[in-house]
Amino acid sequence: MEKENIAVGLDIGTTKIVAMIGKKNEYGKLEILGVGKSKSLGVARGVVNNITQTIQSIQQAIQEAENNSGYKIKDVVVGIAGQHIRSIQHTDYISRNNPEEVIGGNDIQLLIDQVNKLAMLPGEEIIHVLPQEFKIDGQSEIKEPIGMYGGRLESSFHVVVGQASSIRNVGRCIQSSGIELSGLTLEPLASADAVLSQEEKEAGVALIDIGGGTTDLAIFKDGIIRHTAVIPFGGNVISDDIKEGCSIIEKQAELLKVKFGSAWPGENRDNEIVSIPGLRGREPKEISLKNLSKIIHARVVEIVDQVFTEVKAYGHEDPRKKLIAGIVLTGGGAQLKHIKQLVEYITGMDTRIGYPNEHLAGNSDEEISSPLYATAVGLVMKSIENKTQSAVRLDAVEQPKAPTYRPTVVQTPVQEVYENVEEEIDHNAHEKQNSTVNRIQKNFFDRYVDKIKDFLDNAE
């Protein structure tokens, strides 16, 4: 009987932490087995600022996902975001010793290794190297160079850079939560996998993921990632503005934004008023919905302007770089009323809201199909690609408790027993390590994950 490939994604956001367990069904669609959600307490703008609180939030989300699914989580694919993430474009080349031999995966790996040695600012490390078009002996616009002849192999790269300490802190939180880190993925790339079609990526599209603490941007053209950016503003700053502007507490501001908020002030009439209960016996507070919309509008315009500046920096106005499929909005902020119309008005580009339901099985919970879970769904899809067995059934975990080989110590040479014990205990770890080695050319993040694991082991 074939082993189930159970995948787990962990979205560590500023407002919420989501653990999602899933597998592919017989139709190739993603079947969600369990979801765990907890309030994110130790993360600000995508960066961990309190290790203890983050560990507690992760454990809470993991526990809920395990209870809902009946599976025990062993390892997770985690999304990386935060204001420390930046991207650069870089071109590099290698000269091949024997142009008479066809180009293979080793040549491309050699080129990627060369890019990984680029000098970065202090405290920064390269976490993702994405090859774009290749050039062989001056012949350009080659998407797949493997199998071709040539002496000089050149490629343009999209290089994602981040603060090493921030990423190691995420690794520390996951390890301290009692689970392993099987992969890292840039969050906008995970969201893109969940909500964009291949046709949109070919035509040219900008994905805007409006989260709680950050707004992530990923631009695709000709099926290739062209630009990524993280803007350090999200839904939380809108709530903060409402809190200050209306003199109410944070919880009430968040509820007002979700239930009555609109990004378009002209929608509300002057006499539309909502009453907020007063604190500790104080008089209720009356808030005009028109004023509420004006506060939200001002901040959303600022966020969209910053994103559009990044789109223009990519070169959207160049006819060859035009984003024909326009903009796709996702994340919790995409649920704000009339945000689609406002983005279209500011940018002049076609806009739609991105839902992850295209990849989900037909019987999926309606809540999971929300833009709020786009990143988590994308991370589960990445975990499926890795082909790791990230979770096992709880009943299968509880049965084998005492090892059966201990009584044989007397009859067997010490070295042999040691090897047997080592093999039994570390079976899952070796299995995972081997699969990582097999995937090394497919997923450029894997070496960075190993680097983080080594760092955390040495830190012990």
**E strand or H helix at 141:** strand 139-142
Cα end-to-end distance, the chain, whole Å? 40
SS (H, E, C) 305-365: HHHHHHHHHHCCCCHHHCCCCCEEEECHHHHCECHHHHHHHHHCCCEEECCHHHCECCCCC
Residue 298: the pLDDT is: 95
pLDDT in tens, 187-246: 999 999 999 999 999 999 999 999 999 999 999 999 999 999 999 899 999 999 999 998
SS3 content of the chain, % helix, strand, coil (to 5): 45, 25, 30
User: pLDDT under 70 in the chain at which residues?
Assistant: 1-3, 396-449, 455-456, 459-460
Residue 406: the pLDDT is: 42
Neighbours of 138 (CB within 10 A): 8
CB 242 within 8 A of CB 296: yes
The verdict on pTM exceeding 0.85 is no
- What are the residues facing 205 on neighbouring strands? 220
How far, CA to CA in Å, does 177 sit from each of 56, 60, 342, 380? Answer: 8, 10, 41, 19
Tokens, residue 99: 């142009």
Q: Of 313, 130, 324, nearest to 224 (Cα)? A: 130
